[in-house]
Amino acid sequence: MIQVAVMGHGVVGSGVVEVLENHRDSIAKRAKEEINIKYILDIREFPDSPYAQKFTKNFEDILNDEEVRVVAEVMGGVNPAYDFTKRCLEAGKSVVTSNKELVATKGAELLEIARNNNVNYLFEASVGGGIPIIRPINQCLAANEFVEIAGILNGTTNFILTKMIKDNMSFEDALRMAQQLGYAERKPEADVEGHDACRKIAILASLCYGKHIYPELVHTQGITKITLDDVAYAGAWGGVIKLIGQVMKLDDGRVDISVEPMILSRESQLANVDDVFNGILVRGDATGDVVFYGKGAGKLPTASAVVADIIDCVRNLKTRKFVYWEDGDASLVRPYEESAFPVMIRAKAEDKAAALKKAEELFGNVKAVSRSDEKEGEFAFTTGDIAVTSADAAVAELEKAGVTVLSKIRISDL
Ligand code: HSE
């Protein structure tokens, strides 16, 4: 029998315990060993839990117990998860986690420590919740060069945008609804400002390209400034607005990586990924596009991925799974300002025809987009590929000519 510990008894942690206990027999068959939870670490009291006798508030109980071979870190946040993970790995215990913040910020270091101690550090649950994505990239698609990965990686913002698009709900109302349904946190910044999606695309990029791409190198923009007017113009153009995390390999070896709201054509494979679902498109040079779809968050979907990693660790107690990337630095990433793509601009001017003419002068070939119920003086247009710096300069010039630019949203070719 293999003894394991679960650190954290929040939504995901309690799900991990539930799955391990409820599927005890089938998991034992798959792991070829019975798995027993010896400790659950949490600073809170759970006197009514059927597992009350397993709880400890003392991390040292887990660390110093040689019987514990695998630890699930489902606490979230960098501290104290980082210290606990490091010490478990150094003590020869494999660690599995759903903690994207920790993997995105300390992944290279923790993977190196795991390697030096001949144990595993696995994190399938850190991206896409219950959707298999880390293992497919690392194993099934390992023969490919990864041309591009693009995904809807955050369920909360996808729920909010879906409500805006389908039910004409404002951002604020949709956020409130997401909070009432338990999707969004009371402090929703990590989701709505794009930080959660940023950590996830940073993990996928590091895994694909073998060097750590740190979150602070990723241009990140959330959805807080998206309005129903933007949604309506995107609709009139034939698309939907989605928060996309995207990384592309460039010919010079660097990557282009960002998280930002993008307008996707309704024909795109990601355009119909709605509500709290996630969708991740992996473009391999041999496979072409492979798309992963499913529940990217929630208790049992995330627990499913954590428990699968526990099973993998138990099966590989004496061998290391090859999940690894080296440390990286800023030279790996092309500055966002140098990227070029088409944008949709929504603006306001007294003389719309003159403003569009000026836009044509500044942006080159533009196409006007009109919608029903257009507001007084409001108009929108799309551009061709334009570098971010040039687009910003053109926006400034347009404003000097008396036009109020209300929004600028990237148009994706996905
Ligand atoms: N807050 C995240 C989301 C949870 O909404 O997708 C899963 O990482």
> Using an 8 Å Cβ cutoff, are 395 and 405 in contact?
yes
pLDDT at 67: 98
Peptide bond preceding 80 in cis form (omega within 30 of 0)? yes
Residue with tokens 């926006």: 395
CA of 240 to the centre of ligand 1 (A): 21
Angstrom distances, CA of residue 57 to CA of 9, 31, 84, 190 = 11, 28, 13, 28
- Judged against a pLDDT cut of 90, whether residue 322 lies above it is answered with no
The stretches of 64-188 forming alpha helices (DSSP H) are 81-90, 100-116, 134-135, 155-167, 171-180
Cβ atoms of 409 and 227 within 8 Å: the answer is no
State the distance from the centre of ligand 1 to the C-alpha of 399, rounded, in angstroms. 37
Nearest CA to ligand 1 atom 4: 297
pLDDT beyond 90 at 321: no
> Which of 191, 200, 274, 278 gets mutated to test ligand 1 (max ligand atoms within 8 A of its CB)?
191
Contact yes or no for 211/165 (Cβ under 8 A):
no
Among 93, 163, 200, 295, the one annotated catalytic: 200
Average pLDDT for residues 317-324, to the nearest whole number? 88
Task: Report residue 227 as tokens.
Answer: 């309005």
Residue 81 — pLDDT band, cuts 50, 70, 90? Answer: very high
Share above pLDDT 90 across residues of the chain, in percent, rounded to a whole number: 96
The pLDDT value given to residue 182: 87
Domains parsed from the chain with CATH numbers:
2-129+299-330 (3.40.50.720), 139-295 (3.30.360.10), 336-411 (3.30.70.250)
Question: What pLDDT is recorded for position 319?
Answer: 87
pLDDT, one tens digit per residue, over 206-224 is 999 999 999 999 999 999 9
Question: What pLDDT sits at residue 215?
Answer: 98
Residue 348 a catalytic site member: no
The set of residues, in sequence order, having a beta carbon less than 8 Å from that of 170 and lying 6+ positions away, is 164, 227, 228
What proportion of the chain, given as a percentage, has pLDDT over 70? 100
Q: State the distance from the centre of ligand 1 to the C-alpha of 26, rounded, in angstroms.
A: 28
pLDDT (0 to 100) of residue 414 = 93
Atom of ligand 1 nearest to the CA of 278: 6
Asked if the model's pLDDT at residue 320 lies above 90, the reply is no
pLDDT category at 146 given cuts 50, 70, 90 is very high
> Cα of 287 to ligand 1 centre, how many Å?
28
Residue recorded with tokens 């986690």: 97
DSSP 237-303: HTEEEEEEEEEEE-TTS-EEEEEEEEEEETTSTTTT--TTEEEEEEEETTTEEEEEEEE-SSHHHHH
* pLDDT band, residue 83 (cuts 50/70/90): very high
Task: Return the SS3 of 146.
Answer: strand
Pocket test residue of 99, 100, 131, 154 for ligand 1, highest count of atoms within 8 A of CB: 154
**Tokens encoding 35:** 């798995």
Cα 196 to middle of ligand 1, angstroms: 7
Mutate to test the pocket of ligand 1, among 99, 103, 153, 183 (most ligand atoms within 8 A of CB): 183
Measured CA distances, 131 to 31, 128, 272, 321 (Å): 20, 5, 17, 19
Check pLDDT > 90 for residue 300: yes
Residues in the chain: 414
Whether the CB-CB separation of 64 and 40 falls below 8 Å is answered with no
| Both structure tokens of 185 | 């946190």
Q: Inform me whether the pLDDT recorded for 88 exceeds 90.
A: yes
The two tokens of residue 25 are 């027999």
Answer for the pair 390, 398: CB distance below 8 angstroms, yes or no: no
Q: Which DSSP string do the residues of 172-198 spell out, in sequence order?
A: HHHHHHHHHTTSS-SS-HHHHTSHHHH
Q: Which atom of ligand 1 lies closest to the CA of 156?
A: 5
> Which structure tokens are listed for 355?
């403003």
pLDDT score for 410: 98
Q: Which residues does a 6 A CB cutoff place in the pocket of ligand 1? A: 129, 154-156, 191, 196, 296-297
Q: Name the average pLDDT for the chain.
A: 97
CA 14 to CA 46: how far, in whole Å? 11
What is the structure's pLDDT at 326?
96
The better pLDDT of the pair 322, 343 is held by 343
pLDDT at 62: 98
Q: Ligand 1, closest atom to CA 297?
A: 7
**Structural tokens at position 181:** 């349904």
**Cα 37 from Cα 18, distance rounded (Å):** 11
Rounded CA gap, 204 and 208, in Å? 6
3-state class (DSSP) for residue 409:
strand
pTM given for the model: 0.97
Give pLDDT tens digits for 230-271.
Answer: 999 999 999 999 999 999 999 999 999 999 999 999 999 999
Cα 155 to ligand 1 centre (Å): 5
Q: Which pLDDT score, from 0 to 100, does residue 94 have?
A: 98
Q: What CA–CA distance (Å, rounded) separates 237 from 25?
A: 53
Q: By alpha-carbon position, which residue is closest to atom 8 of ligand 1?
A: 297
